Structure 1
Amino acid sequence: ALGDLDGDGALDAVHNSIGSEVWVYRGLGDGRFERRQVLPRGVNPATGPLDDTRDIHLLDMTGDGWLDLVYAASPNFLRFPAAVVPGRGDGTFPDPRFPGADTAITGSAQIHDVNGDGRLDLVHFSRGGRILSFQLGEGGRALDRRQVLDCADPDTCHASTRAALADVTGDGRPDLLFPARDRLVVRRQRPDGTFEADRSLALENLRPQPPQLGPWAADGGLAVVVTQAYVPAEPANRQGVVSRVPLGAGGQPGTPQVILDDDSRRLGALVVPRAGGEAWLVEVLRSPAQLRVARYTPATNTVHAASTVDLPGDPGVLLNHARGDLDGDGAADLVLLTRGGAVVLRQTAAGFERVGDPLGPCFDAADVGDLDGDGRADLVLGAFVVGQPGQLCQEANPDGGGLTVMWGDGALGFEAQPIGGLGFHVTVADMNGDGLD
């Protein structure tokens, strides 16, 4: 996490580690850092010393104008106690103190002012379907548990770690949406910041990914687009169905409408908003490897074929993607990452078209930005490779392991500069005030 911890105008850095420590670095303002502090191993009162730290954030949780540290830690990779560590304003923090075991979480955190009192709150999502909501306690120095929501059937709610917060009821308060194994769940927020019981809709084999929310209902209202997984071991199950679920009064899920029907070739699908209230539906297919693009019109729930793009090799799986205007025409282009390679796709009036050869196999992450200030978008690719698959990747693309900067020429051409290291996640940001890093 990056933020100015001591008010000197330079971004400082805090990072976590598998070894459980949290490392604090002072930014020197020129892109370099010096180590300032190592926070010691925390102790969960119920389970003992912690083994690693996760899900780290820097925000002013206490309202004193200084950034505080919010993070979760795991004693056994299954139970994550959460803590708020107030910043002192000089770039350092006191030793972390964790609440009891009842704050254990196993998923990611969302940080919002949930109840509108001007203070940030935490909502955590657990692997067993449990959702824990916290508010800051007296003096803003501790977490008070506000509510624990248990799933009626934890065995089917494993995917709630992919929950999202969004106002789907139109009352100005963020609500909870998440895909469970066999249902789409909406939990409406009450005025006091707690959440109502489930309003759910039975849907089999939902992919464990955040719901794609947008103005995709026939009446222009909100709808959720969800994808149901292909399960080879159970051929009777639907294979990769993409549906929209309109959200009615109070966020109640309505009758799902299939957008894209069964297709065992479908590895994944993206919904890309476009002008005029429409969207592009981008499917990644196998056997043969193709990208199938269609124009979707919510008002009539119709799909119009737009373009088909051949993909290199066997895509295997849709790993990731990045969006950005790579050619300066004002339209967002796509960089699609599959096991077959990183493919650049230009957006056109008819959909997307592939540009040039793949940038290389085995990339896991990407981001777009103008790194050198020449007015042309550049691309950063990251690869996280270990063991034999990593060796194979480096044999196929010796310059593509780790981080690679692709300097853009403004016309979708790139010059590669390998940096090395590992790049499981990539973010482009201005770290020293002179442009993007």
Structure 2
Amino acid sequence: MTVVLDRPYEFVPPYRGNLWPTAIQTFRLIDWHLRAKEAVLDYECRNADRFAESLSSGHGILLAPNHCRYADPIVLGWLARQVQTHLYAMASWHLFNTNRFEQFALRRMGAFSVFREGNDRKALETAIDILTTGERPLVLFPEGTTNRTNDLLKPLLDGVTFIARAAAKKRAKAGEGEVVIHPVGLKYLCLDDARDWAHEQLAELEGTLSWLPASQMGSAQDLVGRLLKVSQAYLALKEIEFTGQASTGDLSSRRDRLIEQLLQQAEQRYDLVAKSTDDVRERVRKIRAAVSSTFFSAEESTREPATFRRDVERADLAQFLLSFPDEYLTPGKITDTRIVETIQRIQEAIFGKAKDSIPMKVVIDVGEAIPVPAGRPPRGETDPVLCQLRDQLHTMVTSLSKEANLLA
């Protein structure tokens, strides 16, 4: 559940001290967490000198990584360790509502909350203040949410450059120097042969579907064929759950049709009308906002939490289905990491959790600093700073994707 209905939103500020972040780095707690919980065993920082140079120059620094795994904010701790700094990071409110330990840990590592379902002035002011003072570098994920596809970049949100420009204006007024954005490319690479792992995970998924597991021998094409069959089965189950019957046609058209049906079902309940310019992500955002505002504005005696939760499920599922892009399993472009990612997305959907049991290494590549002007962007145009950020990140993600092992 990405929308919290248990209690109204309350801003969670970052922990401002250095004692806990220093202890976390000194005792290598992030190393333990990534090894035990995410199977990320190794890392490589590239071009960290670019980050270090901005630090030594006293700039307000915004780190803008691609966001493909839940491990992403934690692995940036390795980059911070290399340049000897601590970080702040903006994190969705729902992440602070899992358990008390995780909320405690998130804050001590520098995270603060943002309410994605409405206007959160405190979160914006906190982010702008961090960049203005230059107290620590700030991490913002410009894609907004985890996209689960390491080799593709989703559209970037303009809130990143809004925050950066607001801070740049304040720093310029105070004569305190620049605000810069460093794109950061993250790429996870398999340390072991992924084929045996993939066959084992697919056999478990096939057993869950009450199928006789297929042979674990064969070519990469056979492996992809099994994966596509499991994907079709999952999609059919969701079609039956939300529309009453499984549809026919190719996988991509069925996926797109189900996304549209899910969005329309939720939009009709809240009298939302999608604009022609609204993409799926924007429609999902509006549904989540409507669910939250309607639920908490209604009298407690008239609320039906199960109904609202079902609407959130529809929105979440629509966005989740976007993480199965058509081109990801195209013959000639299939890599071991793409197979692993696709299997883990299905595991997350069926079991509620991906099985990160295959050892991985993360490459952390720091891009060139992008100076942020203090003025407003040109009217009627995409912010040029956002265009620079998008172009750098796209180039980095595309280049890093080629380091995975090609299977078919």
- TM-score calculated relative to the size of structure 1: 0.21
Greater relative contact order (CA < 8 Å, ≥ 6 in sequence) = 2
The structure with the greater share of residues assigned to strand is: 1
- TM-score calculated relative to the size of structure 2: 0.22
The structure with the greater share of residues assigned to helix is: 2
